[in-house]
Amino acid sequence: MLISSYNLWLVATSFVVALLASYTALDLTGRILRVGSPMLRHAWLAGGAVAMGVGIWSMHFIAMLAYSLPIPLGYDFAITGLSLALAIVVSYFALFVTTRKVLTTPHLLCGGLLMGLGIAGMHYTGMAAMKMDPAIHYQTGWYAASIVIAIGAATAALWIARTLRDEDQHNVFGKRCAAALIMAIAISGMHYSGMQGVGFPAGSICGAAGGVDSHWLAAVVTLFSLAVIALTLILSRLDARAATLMGAVSRLNGQIVRLATIDTLTGLPNRKTLKERIERAIDQSRRRSGMFAILFMDLDGFKTINDSLGHSAGDEVLASFAQRLQLCVRSSDTVARLGGDEFVVLSENLTSHDDAGKIAETVLERMRKGVWTDNQPLQVMPSIGIALFPQDGETVDELLKNADAAMYEAKRGGRSTYRFFEAKMNEAATRTLNIQNAMHDAMTKGYFSLHFQPKFRGDGDELAGAEALIRLNHPQLGLLGPLEFIPIAERSGQIVQIGYWVVRETCRQIRRWAADGLPQVKVAINLSPRQLSQPKLVSKILEIVKAEGVACEQIMFEITETVAMTDAQRTTEMIREFQACGFEIAIDDFGTGYSSLAYLQRFRVKQLKIDRFFTNGLDSGGPGGAAIVSAIIALAHSLDMDVVAEGVETATQRDKLKEMACDELQGFLLARPLTADAFADLLKERIEAA
């Protein structure tokens, strides 16, 4: 037998090539698995098979070049090419098997068997390319061992590639490196164990020996295979990057779509989404001649919460209301937030108009007494307006507008209640809009005016003062009373500027009367809730009064009881501020709210104005009505307050009030609200009578 030897550098090189080929194979399985289009998948399979095949084959070929005998050796070109082709086919097969969607154990074993035989086939074809004469002598034991090792290694390789193919695993790079090392050892093991059983009888001649230097050949094959492997790896990585990028872009796109359709504060669908759903509901209801309802909700008193407790408290209220609202409706209903404190429920597939009413009732009832998991102590109630398809509108905008009009009616009808849309509400909504527009330039165009209603002393007929009452006289709308336009101005915020105008105008009027030599009277000015939540209300008013040159003692402010009690602590502070400037304060419409008597004491105001309702009760309420009024008067006196009875319309009322020692009387019986000139005449009469 000829004595053989190995060039260790080339052995090492062959191992490195095996390592890289293995890693490439693992990387490719992960890559191919992610490719969506079948065309691209085949391209990657083919390209990957070439790279892997070249890798495996060149490992083998370099290992052969590392092997030397004391005779010249060479390789037949065609047969070597055949072994390369075999390697590529085997690689294609391996990649195909590992990137199948499902891989059962029998599949894996069969695959491993075929692949092992293929690699062994490649190896021994490569050996045949030496064209030895006499033929190479193979030892049966080593021969069999090499084939078993090939099959075992192939099966293990398939299995490893399979388990590591998911690119999202933790530290997939490290795992693949370790796996590639094992696979390289297996492949090399197969080769070198096969070579162990090879024997070349003495006097053998290599038929393929042809002058090409084996070192040169080794270098070329190594470089070539490394280039192919590297190129494949780079392409694979670039492709993976692009795929990741695509993934990120589509995720981002998802977020953008979400932002555009969802209200971020509450997580509910926003106005845009709601409109789309109503659109769809219209289509469906038309086809099936079905019915659906739009419930338009606006939180009662939310502006006060927001103004007094701050925006973050307001946001919390909105978020928890949104959550609660979802619990009140059916899961098939859409709950959306339009913005601000406006919410809409779209309820489809209703059988009758009553169904919608029931939903509204459920919402109101559960909001009133519900126990919620969010532990928000604040109780917020909505006013609800309902519009039904098809009778209340054919388009999204019409339905929403009409539901809004119905909601507005619910607010006017005492809040925390619901109303179905009726055609006449639209007229109300239009009128509201007209009034809002009219107020817009009322101040500059002089449409506002003040009337003054005299107040008289209860012990005699002496004039005790006057209350300034605003009027709006518009060329188109006519003369409007404050009960109609003040609530609108409250809602739109116009009340703030109007309020300052009233103060300024009252001061000017006081000065005019003084200039005419008329006696001084104290004038009361009404303040509404929105004005009271203005941060610098008192100093701003003081500034106006000072600028007009009027003494603060000439003016008094009326705050309605309900408003005063909403935030009694703040009201107390504000009253102190007013009093510190010299203004007096009255609690207006007393008896309509739920006064805590303790607060009444803390307020320490000058006057308590009993609501007209109680004055009326003196006539119609029997002895009970009189008892209440006299109790209120007694209480006020004990707290050192004067009592003014509002709305005195009959002589009986007047007489009873005088009997009860009511301090002041105000009402149509004594005098209606008068224009400034008429009030001046009254003052003149008084001087003359005296």
Q: What residues make contact with Mg ion under the rule CB under 5 A?
A: 526, 558, 588-589, 646
- Kindly report the backbone phi and psi dihedral angles of residue 672, in degrees, each rounded to the nearest multiple of 5, phi listed first: -85, 165
* Cβ proximity to Mg ion, 434 vs 449, nearer residue: 449
Q: Tell me: does residue 561 bind ligand C2E (CB under 6 A).
A: no
Restricting to residues 127-186, which ones interact with ligand C2E according to CB under 6 A? none
Question: Bridge-partner residues for 420, per DSSP?
Answer: 386
Partner in contact with 83, chosen from ligand C2E, Mg ion, none, beta carbon below 5 to 8 Å by kind:
none
Restricting to residues 431-470, which ones interact with ligand C2E according to CB under 6 A? 453, 468-470
Shortest distance, position 510 Cβ to ligand C2E, whole Å: 15
Q: How far is CA 112 from CA 62, 92, 152, 396, in A?
A: 24, 13, 7, 65
Shortest distance, position 588 Cβ to Mg ion, whole Å: 4
Q: Tell me: does residue 267 bind ligand C2E (CB under 6 A).
A: no
* Cβ proximity to ligand C2E, 359 vs 665, nearer residue: 665
Q: Rounded to an integer, what distance in angstroms lies between the CA atom of residue 572 and that of residue 569?
A: 5
Q: What is the DSSP string of 350-396?
A: ESSHHHHHHHHHHHHHHHHH---TT-------EEEEEEEETTT-SSH
Q: Tell me: does residue 482 bind ligand C2E (CB under 6 A).
A: yes
Chosen residue from 436, 491, 649, 680 binding ligand C2E by CB under 6 A = 649
Chosen residue from 291, 386, 647, 653 binding ligand C2E by CB under 6 A = 647
Shortest distance, position 503 Cβ to ligand C2E, whole Å: 9
Shortest distance, position 391 Cβ to Mg ion, whole Å: 41
- Kindly report the backbone phi and psi dihedral angles of residue 385, in degrees, each rounded to the nearest multiple of 5, phi listed first: -115, 135
Tokens of 523: 């004038």
* Cβ proximity to Mg ion, 320 vs 526, nearer residue: 526
* Cβ proximity to Mg ion, 342 vs 646, nearer residue: 646
Which range touches ligand C2E (CB under 6 A), out of 161-169, 179-187, 209-217, 480-488? 480-488
655: Cβ contacts below 8 Å, ≥ 6 apart = none
* Cβ proximity to ligand C2E, 504 vs 686, nearer residue: 504
Shortest distance, position 666 Cβ to Mg ion, whole Å: 9
Nearest to 667 by CA among 435, 454, 407: 454
Nearest to 156 by CA among 112, 105, 97: 112
Chosen residue from 589, 642, 663, 664 binding ligand C2E by CB under 6 A = 589
* Cβ proximity to Mg ion, 188 vs 526, nearer residue: 526
Give the three-class secondary structure for 538: helix
Q: What is the DSSP string of 521-535?
A: --EEEEE-HHHHT-T
Partner in contact with 221, chosen from ligand C2E, Mg ion, none, beta carbon below 5 to 8 Å by kind:
none
* Cβ proximity to ligand C2E, 300 vs 561, nearer residue: 561
DSSP structural state of residue 217: H
Q: Tell me: does residue 494 bind ligand C2E (CB under 6 A).
A: no
**In a 10 Å sphere around its CB, with 0-12 CB exposed, 13-18 middle and 19+ buried, how is residue 297 labelled?**
buried
Q: Work out the angle between the directed axes of helices 537-547 and 495-515 (0-180°, nearest 10).
A: 30
Residues that bind ligand C2E (CB under 6 A): 453, 468-470, 481-483, 486, 499, 502, 526-528, 558, 588-589, 612, 646-649, 666-668, 673
